[in-house]
Amino acid sequence: MSQYFHSVTLDKSLCKGCTNCIKRCPTEAIRVTEGKSHITEERCIDCGECIRTCASHAKSALVDGFERLSDFEYRIALAPPSFFGLWKPQSEIPVACARLLSLGFDEVFEVALAADIVAEATRLLIENDSHPRPYISSACPAVIRLMQVRFPSLLPNLIPLEAPIEIAATLAKEEAIARTGLPAERIGGFFLSPCPAKVTAIKQPVGRMRSNIDAALSISEVYGAIARMPAGEVEPITIRATPSGIGWGGAGGEARATRIRAAVSVDGIHSVIQVLDEIERGRIQDIQYIEAQACVGGCLGGCLVSQNPFISKVRLMAAADTYGAKEPAVADIEVGRLLNGHKLSFDHPIEPRPVMKLDPDLAKALVMMKDLEMTLETLPGLDCGACGCPSCRALAEDIVRGNALKTDCIFLLRERVRELAEEMVDLARKVPPAMGQNAPGSLGETGERARDVTGGGRDDSR
């Protein structure tokens, strides 16, 4: 197995080699070389921005297929709030959940139940501990990975709580073991994922050794499978999560569910970066909690959700009000017990991923950095992307790393061609003395014959 698993993947046959994706990538993980896009594995945070940007649909998210259901004897569908937002108010959520059973699941477990727990646990932590503020939500795995790469100094601000999907899987399996008497390995947890980041978080988690979830299906594929099913009577499922747990799936839902007033809700990875910058500079001290989601619209805007997040948010809120439970399924006092018993926390530290570092040796890195700045000064600063790098600075970085050439810049290349052309014209005017004195340009230039015609020994190695 390679060092990194990534759900975000590229179909080279569809990639036209345009440079749209490289510009949107928040970690500058993409380059276009030899006419195709390439993702640098150690930089990719699986946010899905490139999937959204790609007009050729060359980028997509790897998910598990329905055939994985046959690997288990008892199959739990872990349905997140973003699944609830897909249905029009008139098609009832309890019916949609019941139809999941017809797809081959034995049980539907609402991730919103775990969101209720995480919301209460968050509130308890913020009311009772003196950890440096603001706490940053750990629910979005793309944001966690963004922090590992670009905001490592803020990792201590991550709230030490597992994401609702992991807590949901743990609870669902505990309940299923008790109910069925089956051993844990024969019970499968299937997450209906709205995004590639959560698929990656399941396949290669940070904050825990192994995920409790066994497979990740695409929400839109599941939605399609249900929509294609023949209409028929099903026994509606009772929704156990509260309206605020269900609302967790949309932007602003976490802040609402935790009832923390000094909370900032930010969605969209580039907006998240701006807020994290502010925190890093110490400018957000009056805020207790940051709800940060990589997708515009929160999980409803995930790139495996095929519907517009602004419309599905209205549906989600309507569903929450109509079907949400009056009381939380897990009482607040029990959440306190789980929290104090460390049942909700990570079991593994979340470490920085210093992938931007030029060299492990500080002295060497300083020399390279100096070189990078000098190289950058020779580049046009247009950030056109024609070299396949997202910016002139990224090209300068690639040059000092030995991964690119100066002439990859089409402006520098054009300049070099112009210089060469001028030299050729200049040379064409020169005539060897044996050919006579009347040729144009040959007078008085005998001293220049020894001139280095290669252009002053220009170094093309970079």
Partner 1 sequence: MPRAAGSECVFSLEFAVEGMDFAAAGDVAGNLKRALQQIGLEPTTVRRACIVVYEAETNIVIHAYRGRITVDVSTKGIFIVAEDEGPGIVDVELAMREGYSTAPQHVREMGFGAGMGLPNIRRSADELDIQTKVGVGTKVQAVINIGRTGDGGGV
Residues contributing to the site for partner 1 (CB under 8 A): 150, 152-153, 155, 277, 280-283, 352, 354, 356-363, 365-367, 369-370, 372-373, 393, 397
In whole angstroms, how close is the CB of 168 to partner 1 at the nearest point? Answer: 32
Of 106 and 371, which has the nearer Cβ to partner 1?
Answer: 371
In whole angstroms, how close is the CB of 352 to partner 1 at the nearest point? Answer: 6
Of 338 and 358, which has the nearer Cβ to partner 1?
Answer: 358
**SS3 letters across the chain:** CCCCCCCEEECCCCCCCCCHHHHHCCCCCEEEECCEEEECCCCCCCCCHHHHHCCCCCEEECCCCHHHHHHCCEEEEEECHHHHCCCCCCCCHHHHHHHHHHCCCCEEEEHHHHHHHHHHHHHHHHHHCCCCCCEECCCCHHHHHHHHHHCHHHHHHECCCCCHHHHHHHHHHHHHHHHHCCCHHHEEEEEEECCHHHHHHHHCCCCCCCCCCCEEEEHHHHHHHHHCCCCCCCCCCCCCCCHHHHHCCECCHHHHHHCCCCEEEEECHHHHHHHHHHHHCCCCCCCCEEEEECCCCEHHHCCCCCCCHHHHHHHHHHHHHHHCCCCCCCCHHHHHHHHHCCCCCCCCCCCCCCCCCCCCCHHHHHHHHHHHHHHHHHCCCCCCCCCCCCCHHHHHHHHHCCCCCHHHCHHHHHHHHHHHHHHHHHHHCCCCHHHCCCCCCCCCCHHHCCCCCCCCCCCCCC
In whole angstroms, how close is the CB of 266 to partner 1 at the nearest point? Answer: 16
Of 273 and 413, which has the nearer Cβ to partner 1?
Answer: 273
Of 230 and 360, which has the nearer Cβ to partner 1?
Answer: 360
In whole angstroms, how close is the CB of 276 to partner 1 at the nearest point? Answer: 11
Of 231 and 362, which has the nearer Cβ to partner 1?
Answer: 362
Of 135 and 223, which has the nearer Cβ to partner 1?
Answer: 135
Of 206 and 365, which has the nearer Cβ to partner 1?
Answer: 365
In whole angstroms, how close is the CB of 156 to partner 1 at the nearest point? Answer: 9
In whole angstroms, how close is the CB of 280 to partner 1 at the nearest point? Answer: 6
In whole angstroms, how close is the CB of 397 to partner 1 at the nearest point? Answer: 7
